[in-house]
Amino acid sequence: MRQFVKVFALSVIILMLPGQLTIGFGQKSVPEKGKIIDTVRCRSNPKISYAIYLPASYSENKKWPVIFVFDPAARGKVAVSGFVQASEKLGYIIVCSNNSRNQLPWTELSEVINSMFTDVGEKFKIDPGRIYTSGFSGGSRVASTIALNSNLISGVIACGAGFSDLADYNNIPAFNYYELVGNRDMNYLEMCDLEKKLAGYGKTVQLKVFEGTHAWPSPELLEEAVEWMDLQAMIKGSIKKNPPFIGSQFDRYIRNAELLLREGKLITAAQQYEYIIKDFPDYNSAVNIKGKLDSLKKSDGYIKAVKSWDKSRSFELKIQSKLISALIEQVRAESLPDSIRSDISGQIRMLRNLEKGKDKTNQDIASRVLMMLNIFCAERGRNYFNEKKFGAASVCYEIQSLVEPENNKLYYQLAKIYSLGNETDKSLSSLVKAINLGYNDRESIEKEPAFIALKNEKRFRDAIKKLK
């Protein structure tokens, strides 16, 4: 990874020289404007493609800002669609890779990124001072990694995930960082902590928490993020100041802060005031934002809210650590004894009860921890299965089945794993459970190579007889 980052940093800088990025291609080759084009193949590397959206106002008479987007499942059209509203309103080219996805080896990812950046730079007139990246989940980490390893990215819209573990916080280039995360997203605490850390390093950062889980934010939220990038560009002089736009943004920030205060969300209200002070230096004195912020932070309600936040954060991290530690220990042992299973089941039941309770904070904590455990098990289980470490894979999927006890696909996967690990009884039991829970693809069962050893078993024949 470290070796790749060094090579990748150099390649991005070479590819993104302003002279290269401002090369226009012929008007006849420009894709249809005002419409998402699913697949544009890179001229120099046709196996690599991207989806693109050009605003209806696009022309080759000027340079355009661009957002390079990365989706964890390489869903180019899906990811681009979320930015269409912002593209039309604010005039951005939106590009999303059809190849970049989670689990893609770094060498292949480097090829995808460099080919896409080069192709866009050759075909469209890009403003070299307004190049942005964005992504969701693992795609967000890709977007951040690009910015961390190039001085030519102006900003990142990070959705549902932040930096990779290898980020060097002492050498962060001067890009703007806008975070979007759901209040029930497993990476919620990570994003909150990252906002504070970057602010502590003097970076331009803003965090927006929305009502939701681990998913792409709405087009409205993405539009707000792009508007913030425009605001920062005006502050830094990259584009001409637009007083009506700045005024409308200021009014929206003030309305949000006042709404948060009325709802009793004092920490978020204080955070909003801090953003106003940083982003609207010419407006603050007129409405005494600094005075309001100081008064709020000295209030008993705010002090109590901070203490409650810290307590909830510690509680969440403690549960996360306990569950993940138990999982890792049992993966190493390649077994899940009944006593450990019972303990983990008890923790999951406790979280389900919190999730159904009346306390909103505990509801959110429970949702985040359960999602974290579910996805952690799924990803680790898939990796171990691909590495043919069937004992470790079975532990991951068994624990995941405690989180999703009605998921028939999990039991089908467990049946495959147990069969490949020569655990016939467990395989048959899991397959029967999958079918009883609604798995009804008889053809996939009969053609599955992992089940060859089971075909002479009466329980296997009886199970598939239930299917059409």
* 193-201: average pLDDT: 95
pTM: 0.90
Angle between helices 424-436 and 458-465 (to 10 degrees): 10
Residues 6+ apart with CB under 8 A from 420: 388, 390, 450
CA 201 centroid distance within chain: 23
Please name the fold of domain 2-241. Answer: Rossmann fold (3.40.50)
Does residue 27 or residue 340 have the better pLDDT? 340
Tell me what pLDDT residue 2 has. 30
Q: What percent of the chain has pLDDT over 70?
A: 93
What is d(CA 314, CA 319) in angstroms, rounded to the nearest whole number?
9
CA distances from residue 63 to 181, 239, 466 in whole angstroms, order as listed = 31, 12, 63
Q: Token pair of 386, please? A: 């691909």
* 141-150: average pLDDT: 94
The DSSP element (H or E) to which 45 belongs, if any, is strand 45-53
pLDDT at 325 over 90: yes
Tell me what pLDDT residue 225 has. 98
- Burial call 167-179: b when 16+ CB within 10 Å, e when fewer: beeeebeebbbbb
Tell me what pLDDT residue 103 has. 86
Least confident of 147-151, 301-305, 414-418: 147-151
- Classified as helix, coil or strand, 83 is coil
- Burial call 404-417: b when 16+ CB within 10 Å, e when fewer: eeebbebbbbbbbb
pLDDT at 5 over 80: no
* Residue corresponding to tokens 């569950």: 323
* 153-168: average pLDDT: 93
pLDDT at 156 over 60: yes
| CATH match for 314-465 among 2.40.160, 1.10.10, 1.25.40, 1.10.1660 | 1.25.40
pLDDT at 147 over 60: yes
pLDDT at 8 over 70: no
* 180-204: average pLDDT: 96
DSSP letter string over 159-226?
ES----TT--GGG--S-EEEEEEETT-TTHHHHHHHHHHHHHTT--EEEEEES-SSSPPPHHHHHHHH
Closest C-alpha to 391, from 436, 346, 336: 336
* 176-195: average pLDDT: 97
pLDDT digits (tens, 9 = 90+) for 442-467: 999 999 999 998 988 999 998 888 88
CA distances from residue 384 to 344, 393, 415 in whole angstroms, order as listed = 21, 5, 15
- Burial call 218-251: b when 16+ CB within 10 Å, e when fewer: eeebbbbbbbbbbbbbbbeeebeeeeeebeebbe
Domain-wise residue ranges, the chain: 2-241, 314-465
Tell me what pLDDT residue 266 has. 97
Closest C-alpha to 422, from 387, 394, 447: 394
pLDDT at 211 over 80: yes
Q: CB-based burial of residue 356 (10 Å sphere; 0-12 exposed, 13-18 middle, 19+ buried)?
A: exposed
* 167-190: average pLDDT: 94
The DSSP letter of residue 57 is: T
- Classified as helix, coil or strand, 48 is strand
Question: What are the residues facing 205 on neighbouring strands?
Answer: 177
Closest C-alpha to 241, from 279, 275, 269, 197: 279
Q: Token pair of 430, please? A: 């899991």
Q: Residue 306 — pLDDT band, cuts 50, 70, 90?
A: very high
Q: Residue 179 — pLDDT band, cuts 50, 70, 90?
A: very high
Q: What is the 3-state secondary structure (H, E, C) of 297-348?
A: HHCHHHHHHHHHHHHHHHHHHHHHHHHHHHHHHHHHHCCCCHHHHHHHHHHH
Q: Residue 390 — pLDDT band, cuts 50, 70, 90?
A: very high
pLDDT at 93 over 50: yes
For the chain, helix (H) and strand (E) counts, in that order, are 20, 8
Angle at alpha carbon of residue 106, lines to 100 and 107, rounded to 5°? 100
pLDDT at 189 over 60: yes
* 324-352: average pLDDT: 95
Q: CB-based burial of residue 318 (10 Å sphere; 0-12 exposed, 13-18 middle, 19+ buried)?
A: exposed
Q: Residue 106 — pLDDT band, cuts 50, 70, 90?
A: confident
Does residue 169 or residue 218 have the better pLDDT? 218
How much is the mean pLDDT over the chain? 91
Closest C-alpha to 180, from 169, 195, 202, 168: 195
Tell me what pLDDT residue 285 has. 64
pLDDT digits (tens, 9 = 90+) for 12-67: 433 333 333 333 333 346 788 999 999 999 999 999 999 999 999 999 889 999 99
Tell me what pLDDT residue 151 has. 87
